[in-house]
């Protein structure tokens, strides 16, 4: 149980305007897990994947994050199958810049012509004329970032991309990118147990840039029996994962967690975390535990 029984619990997570004009509920959904093992091929249960996506929207989730490399393209195509034509307030973000040659194999490719090709394919697979948020999945060390982002900026000028984001970058890389073009979001590994991107989050918050933490539910040793996360979870009659999400939502107003799952029951549990309010003492105890 959580502190809310609303039918749209994601509404309780608060709102943020990506790029200043795309307002979403801060608790979103990451669509990586609706693929096969190793994020490769079709999911074991395609019908359940469709149910997950439709249920997410019913629960008030209006920010869905995917990537062309999830499947590849399986995730984008399932999103279209489940949700097209899209609700007016639904924001779908995708990513390009990682190519796949098999399960669990990810290789950065940031050549301008490749990013243009992948953008065109994502437009087709999602069934849209403009991608709300297109993120460079990784900076390719073999390609100057000015060339990669320069091409995305051209695609934005052509109306094929609305906003540009980055993934797995440092503060210096984020600053370098902003010298090339406007950056609306950054997506880095971040959770209550792993805060190596704390400086990136602080910079994003100061600049009004959306921060999208991937792997948001990891709890590490904090969820051990008798640990701070375990205690808080019991106090709220909630799971450690729900408390981890509640901590993220309280950590910063620019935080947009995107927990992913392939099961409706787990989705409902994750989204219910938006109704949990941590006390100051609980938040500080979790913050200080790492």
Query: Is 231 within a domain?
Result: no
Over residues 52-99, the pLDDT tens digits come to 999 999 999 999 999 999 999 999 999 999 999 999 999 999 999 999
Q: What is the pLDDT of residue 290?
A: 75
Query: Is 179 within a domain?
Result: yes
Q: What is the pLDDT of residue 129?
A: 98
Could you give the CA distance from residue 220 to residue 157 in angstroms, rounded to a whole number? 43
Average confidence (pLDDT) over 116-134: 98
Sequence-distant (≥ 6) Cβ neighbours of residue 124 within 8 angstroms: none
Q: What is the pLDDT of residue 24?
A: 98
Q: Given pLDDT bands bounded at 50, 70 and 90, which one contains residue 261?
A: very high
Query: Is 177 within a domain?
Result: yes
Query: Is 275 within a domain?
Result: no
Q: How many domains does the chain fold into?
A: 1
Query: Is 143 within a domain?
Result: yes
Query: Is 265 within a domain?
Result: no
Q: What is the pLDDT of residue 231?
A: 86
Q: Given pLDDT bands bounded at 50, 70 and 90, which one contains residue 166?
A: very high
Q: What is the pLDDT of residue 199?
A: 98
Is 134 known to be catalytic?
Answer: no
Q: Which of 70, 134, 190, 203 is catalytic?
A: 70
Secondary structure class of 14 (helix, strand, coil) = coil
pLDDT at 116 over 70: yes
Q: What is the pLDDT of residue 3?
A: 41
Query: Is 223 within a domain?
Result: no
Query: Is 24 within a domain?
Result: yes
CB 219 within 8 A of CB 229: yes
Q: Which domain holds residue 190?
A: 9-218+255-260
The overall average pLDDT reported for the chain is: 95
Q: What are phi and psi of 187, to 5 degrees?
A: -120, 105
Compare 112 and 228 and report the one with higher pLDDT: 112
In order, the DSSP letters of 63-130 are EEE--TTTBTTHHHHHHHHHHPSPPTT-EEEEEESEE-SSTT--EE---HHHHHHHHHHHHHHHT-SS
Closest CA to 237 of 68, 47, 1: 1
Residue 40 tokens read as: 């490769």
Find the CATH number of the domain harbouring 160: 3.20.20.100
């Amino acid at each position: 149980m959580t502190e809310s029984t609303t039918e749209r619990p994601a509404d309780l997570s608060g709102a943020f305007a990506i790029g200043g004009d795309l307002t979403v509920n801060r608790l979103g959904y990451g669509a990586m897990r609706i693929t096969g093992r190793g994020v490769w091929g079709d999911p074991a249960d395609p019908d359940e994947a469709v149910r997950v996506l439709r249920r997410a929207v019913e629960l008030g989730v209006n920010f869905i994050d995917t990537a062309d490399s999830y499947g590849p393209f399986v995730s984008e195509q399932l999103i279209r199958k489940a949700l097209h034509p899209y609700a007016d307030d639904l924001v779908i973000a995708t990513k390009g810049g990682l190519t796949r040659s098999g399960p669990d194999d990810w290789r950065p490719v940031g050549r301008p012509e490749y990013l243009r090709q992948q953008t065109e394919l994502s437009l087709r697979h999602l069934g849209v004329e403009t991608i709300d948020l297109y993120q460079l999945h990784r900076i390719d060390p073999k390609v100057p970032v000015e060339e990669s982002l320069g091409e995305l900026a051209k695609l934005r000028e052509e109306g094929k991309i609305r906003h540009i984001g980055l993934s797995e970058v440092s503060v210096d890389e984020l600053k370098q990118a902003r010298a090339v073009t406007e950056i609306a979001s950054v997506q880095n590994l971040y959770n209550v147990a792993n805060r190596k991107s704390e400086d990136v989050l602080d910079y994003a918050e100061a600049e009004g840039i959306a921060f999208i933490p991937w792997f948001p539910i990891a709890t590490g040793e904090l969820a051990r029996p008798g640990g701070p996360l375990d205690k808080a979870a019991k106090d709220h009659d909630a799971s450690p994962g729900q408390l981890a999400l509640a901590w993220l939502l309280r950590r910063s107003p620019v935080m947009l967690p995107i927990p992913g799952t392939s099961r409706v029951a787990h989705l409902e549990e994750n989204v219910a975390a938006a109704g949990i309010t941590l006390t100051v003492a609980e938040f500080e105890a979790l913050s200080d535990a790492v």
